[in-house]
């Protein structure tokens, strides 16, 4: 690859980085550039001055040291499920190539490179009856998801993904590759779990698995006209649900396209998502009340292997131009449901593809064994809105939904569901912010890691 010696608006000689590293370095105009930078979320313009596809941890060390020498900033990207345009303008390091996965079945833990998506771990762990605390879709990257807390479909039983982390290998902003555990660099162990990519570029992560060969669950679908009655039942039913059960509902307006079952396409539907981690019989008994809430149009709730976990949330797999918004709620009373339905329910022309409410609580709300920078344990519900960015009015409509539920909005957002640098800061309480800033001063004194800069 030919890289101009000193070109680019940031004045960094990326040819030098190319010579230092084994991985591919590309600048705009190079053949490899578009494929390396393009995020899953097609609506976010990710156009860095240069991208390095890291071959190994040493490449990441060289990239961070190079950035420091030339006064530019670095941002990591794995799958591009959660990019922010403002943070990806200088040197992007994609960790896609760091793809090792090792399962330790006897001790029940896994090690994964920073480019690995959950699917690979789910499939590697399943033969041993083990499962990771993955998220709503196994296409998301392990590191981005985990460093943002990691709220998955078994969260009420087992807590957050950060609660299972054993060790993290990270190249901090000072260009040093460090192994971080509860006893080695404990301040980094705190900051990296919840603080996303603020401190450095993670190269590998180790975490405990849970024994969960199967689960009882999936999604149960109703016609949109029954949404008020079903949500009413869901609120009362979920309030009694033991911690073996994790649930959410989503108002969907799925397009009429290949892969969408005809009974769900081109209309408003409501999906109740459910995972029961105890016995299938008990899970079925608990779910009977939801099955009786209204006429069911599709029932995909059954005893399944953990490898079928994506059938619970039915998230989109293909890259999507998504506009996303959300917040946490302290409560979800009748008035909040009415406010939501007034903008998204039957008879309303909502432009959103999905509006979901996840019930939190249970193990989610209890601090993990080791303190972390995740500051949202008090949240009772998570609200997420996803629209197609090109649909006119989608942004204003999402803002109107958030305004309507403002009386129930909680204190700190989930880091994984923040979509602007300002929202990012809003995910932390004052003490956590102070600890994150101190860790940045210690481990990234020159502010090389772009994301850390959002804290000011
Ligand atoms: C369809 C969909 C479903 C989702 N479901 C859930 C869910 O159920 N629960 C949940 O908690 N979240 C969920 N999320 C949010 C998701 O966890 C975040 O967007 C997460 O940051 C994605 O990580 P990524 O590596 O896949 O994305 P990327 O866009 O590649 O990375 C996003 C951010 O993660 C951090 N990061 C990535 N790689 C590194 C690295 N090597 N070192 C340090 N930091 C790094 C950085 O802050 C980076 O900006 C979902 C997102 C989507 C689009």
pLDDT tens, position by position, 389-400? 999 999 999 999
What pairing do the DSSP bridges indicate for beta strands 50-53 and 210-211? unpaired
Same domain flag for 220 and 318: yes
Same domain flag for 68 and 131: no
> Distance (Å, rounded) from C-alpha 451 to C-alpha 393?
29
With a 6 Å cutoff on the Cβ, whether 353 touches ligand 1 is no
pLDDT tens profile 399-455: 999 999 999 999 999 999 999 999 999 999 999 999 999 999 999 999 999 999 988
The domain boundary, picked from 36, 67, 94, lies at 94
* Ligand 1 pocket mutation, candidates 41, 46, 81, criterion most atoms within 8 A of CB: 81
> Distance (Å, rounded) from C-alpha 256 to C-alpha 27?
38
* Ligand 1 pocket mutation, candidates 76, 146, 448, criterion most atoms within 8 A of CB: 76
Same domain flag for 36 and 108: no
Residues 6+ apart with CB under 8 A from 34: none
Q: What DSSP letter does each residue of 119-178 carry, written as one string?
A: HHHHHHHGGGTEE----S-TTSBHHHHHHT----TTHHHH--GGGGEEEEEEEETTS-EE
pLDDT tens profile 126-183: 999 999 999 999 999 999 999 999 999 999 999 999 999 999 999 999 999 999 999 9
Same domain flag for 130 and 206: yes
Atom of ligand 1 nearest to the CA of 77: 30
Distance 174 CA to ligand 1 centre (A): 23
> Distance (Å, rounded) from C-alpha 72 to C-alpha 66?
8
Evaluate whether residue 160 is within a structural domain: yes
What are the angstrom distances between the C-alpha of 30 and each of 35, 49, 93? 10, 12, 16
With a 6 Å cutoff on the Cβ, whether 116 touches ligand 1 is no
- Are 390 and 428 contacting, i.e. CB atoms less than 8 angstroms apart? no
Residue 7 has pLDDT above 70, yes or no: no
Q: What is the mean pLDDT of residues 57-62?
A: 98
Evaluate whether residue 449 is within a structural domain: no
pLDDT score, position 258: 81
Q: How crowded is residue 197: how many other Cβ atoms within 10 Å of its Cβ?
A: 26
pLDDT tens profile 213-266: 999 999 999 999 999 999 999 999 999 999 999 999 999 998 888 888 889 998
Same domain flag for 198 and 72: no
Record the tokens describing residue 18, joined without a space. 């190319």
Domain count across the chain: 3
Evaluate whether residue 445 is within a structural domain: no
pLDDT score, position 9: 54
Same domain flag for 248 and 361: yes
> Distance (Å, rounded) from C-alpha 449 to C-alpha 218?
39
Atom of ligand 1 nearest to the CA of 142: 25
Residues 6+ apart with CB under 8 A from 125: 103, 105, 110, 131, 132, 209
The domain boundary, picked from 41, 73, 94, lies at 94
The domain boundary, picked from 94, 124, 145, lies at 94
Q: What is the mean pLDDT of residues 290-305?
A: 98
3-state DSSP of 348-387: CCCCEEEEEEEECCHHHHCCCCCCCCCCCCCCCEEEEEEE
> Distance (Å, rounded) from C-alpha 325 to C-alpha 321?
13
- Are 408 and 324 contacting, i.e. CB atoms less than 8 angstroms apart? no
Same domain flag for 189 and 253: no
With a 6 Å cutoff on the Cβ, whether 162 touches ligand 1 is no
> Distance (Å, rounded) from C-alpha 121 to C-alpha 138?
9
Q: What is the mean pLDDT of the chain?
A: 95
Q: Output b/e per residue, 266-305; b: 16+ Cβ within 10 A.
A: eebbbbbbbbbbeeeeebeebbeebeebbebbeebbebbe
- Are 201 and 93 contacting, i.e. CB atoms less than 8 angstroms apart? yes
With a 6 Å cutoff on the Cβ, whether 315 touches ligand 1 is yes
Residue 106 has pLDDT above 70, yes or no: yes
Evaluate whether residue 447 is within a structural domain: no
CATH of the domain at 34: 3.30.43.10
Q: What is the mean pLDDT of residues 334-350?
A: 96
CATH of the domain at 233: 3.40.462.20
Evaluate whether residue 433 is within a structural domain: no
* Domain of residue 123, residue span: 101-211
Evaluate whether residue 5 is within a structural domain: no
Q: How crowded is residue 10: how many other Cβ atoms within 10 Å of its Cβ?
A: 17
Residues 6+ apart with CB under 8 A from 80: 38, 39, 40, 41, 44, 46
pLDDT score, position 3: 47
> Distance (Å, rounded) from C-alpha 59 to C-alpha 90?
17
pLDDT score, position 10: 56
* Ligand 1 pocket mutation, candidates 44, 55, 85, 140, criterion most atoms within 8 A of CB: 140
* Ligand 1 pocket mutation, candidates 145, 172, 319, criterion most atoms within 8 A of CB: 145
Residues 6+ apart with CB under 8 A from 66: 12, 16, 17, 20, 91
Same domain flag for 337 and 240: yes
- For 106, counting Cβ atoms within 10 Å of its Cβ (0-12 exposed, 13-18 middle, 19+ buried), the class is exposed
Same domain flag for 341 and 218: yes
> Distance (Å, rounded) from C-alpha 78 to C-alpha 273?
27
What are the angstrom distances between the C-alpha of 319 and each of 135, 161, 305, 352? 17, 24, 26, 17
With a 6 Å cutoff on the Cβ, whether 144 touches ligand 1 is yes
Distance 145 CA to ligand 1 centre (A): 4
CA atoms within 13 A on the CB side of 393: 8
Evaluate whether residue 167 is within a structural domain: yes
Q: With bands split at pLDDT 50, 70 and 90, how would you rate the model's confidence at 1?
A: very low
Q: With bands split at pLDDT 50, 70 and 90, how would you rate the model's confidence at 2?
A: very low
Q: How crowded is residue 411: how many other Cβ atoms within 10 Å of its Cβ?
A: 14
Q: With bands split at pLDDT 50, 70 and 90, how would you rate the model's confidence at 316?
A: confident
Evaluate whether residue 435 is within a structural domain: no
> Distance (Å, rounded) from C-alpha 297 to C-alpha 267?
12
Supply the angle between the helices 394-404 and 334-344 in degrees, to the nearest 10: 160
SS3 assignment, position 332: coil
With a 6 Å cutoff on the Cβ, whether 148 touches ligand 1 is yes
CATH of the domain at 107: 3.30.465.10
Same domain flag for 347 and 385: yes
> Distance (Å, rounded) from C-alpha 440 to C-alpha 149?
19
Residue 201 has pLDDT above 50, yes or no: yes
Name the β-bridge partners of 249. Answer: 272, 357
Same domain flag for 335 and 420: yes
pLDDT score, position 4: 42
Supply the angle between the helices 280-291 and 227-240 in degrees, to the nearest 10: 140
Q: What DSSP letter does each residue of 86-132 carry, written as one string?
A: GG-SSEEEE-TT---EEEETTTTEEEEETT-BHHHHHHHHGGGTEE-
Same domain flag for 175 and 266: no
Question: What is the residue with the minimal CA distance to atom 29 of ligand 1?
Answer: 80
């Amino acid at each position: 690859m030919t890289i101009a010696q000193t070109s680019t608006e940031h004045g960094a000689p990326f040819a030098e980085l190319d010579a230092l590293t084994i991985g591919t370095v590309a600048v705009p105009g190079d053949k490899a550039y578009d494929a390396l930078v393009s995020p899953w979320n097609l609506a976010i313009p990710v156009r860095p001055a240069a991208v390095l596809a890291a071959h190994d941890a040493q490449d990441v060390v060289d990239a961070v040291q190079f950035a420091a020498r030339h006064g530019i900033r670095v941002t990591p990207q794995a799958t591009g499920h959660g990019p922010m345009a403002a943070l990806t303008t200088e040197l992007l390091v994609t960790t896609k190539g760091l793809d090792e996965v090792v399962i330790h079945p006897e001790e029940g833990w896994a090690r994964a490179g920073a480019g690995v998506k959950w699917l690979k771990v789910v499939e590697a762990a399943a033969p041993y009856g083990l499962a990771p605390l993955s998220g709503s879709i196994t296409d998301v990257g392990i590191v981005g998801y985990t460093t943002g807390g990691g709220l998955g479909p078994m969260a009420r039983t087992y807590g957050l993904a950060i609660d299972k982390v054993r060790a993290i290998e990270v190249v901090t902003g000072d260009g040093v590759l460090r192994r971080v555990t509860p006893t080695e660099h404990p301040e980094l162990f705190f900051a990296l779990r919840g603080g996303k990519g603020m401190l450095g570029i993670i190269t590998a992560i180790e975490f405990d698995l849970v024994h969960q060969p199967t689960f009882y669950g999936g999604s149960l679908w109703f016609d949109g006209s029954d949404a008020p009655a079903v949500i009413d039942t869901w609120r009362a039913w979920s309030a009694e649900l033991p911690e073996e059960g994790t649930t959410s509902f989503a108002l969907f307006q799925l397009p009429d396209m290949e892969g969408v079952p005809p009974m769900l396409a081109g209309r408003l539907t409501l999906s109740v998502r459910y995972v029961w981690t105890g016995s299938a019989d008990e899970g079925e008994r608990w779910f009977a009340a939801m099955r009786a809430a209204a006429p069911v149009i599709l029932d995909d709730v059954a005893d399944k292997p953990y490898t079928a976990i994506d059938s619970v949330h039915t998230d989109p797999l293909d890259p999507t131009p998504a506009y996303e918004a959300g917040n946490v709620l302290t409560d979800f009373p009748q008035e909040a449901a009415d406010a939501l339905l007034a903008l998204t329910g039957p008879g309303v022309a909502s432009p959103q593809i999905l509006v979901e409410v996840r019930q939190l609580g249970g193990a989610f709300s209890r601090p993990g064994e080791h303190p972390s920078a995740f500051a949202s344990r008090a949240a009772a519900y998570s609200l997420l809105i996803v629209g197609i960015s090109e649909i006119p009015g989608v942004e204003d409509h999402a803002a109107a939904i958030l305004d309507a539920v403002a009386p129930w909005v909680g204190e700190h957002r989930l880091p994984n569901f923040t979509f602007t640098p300002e929202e990012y800061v809003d995910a932390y309480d004052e003490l956590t912010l102070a600890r994150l800033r101190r860790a940045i001063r210690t481990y990234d004194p020159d502010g090389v890691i772009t994301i850390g800069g959002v804290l000011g």
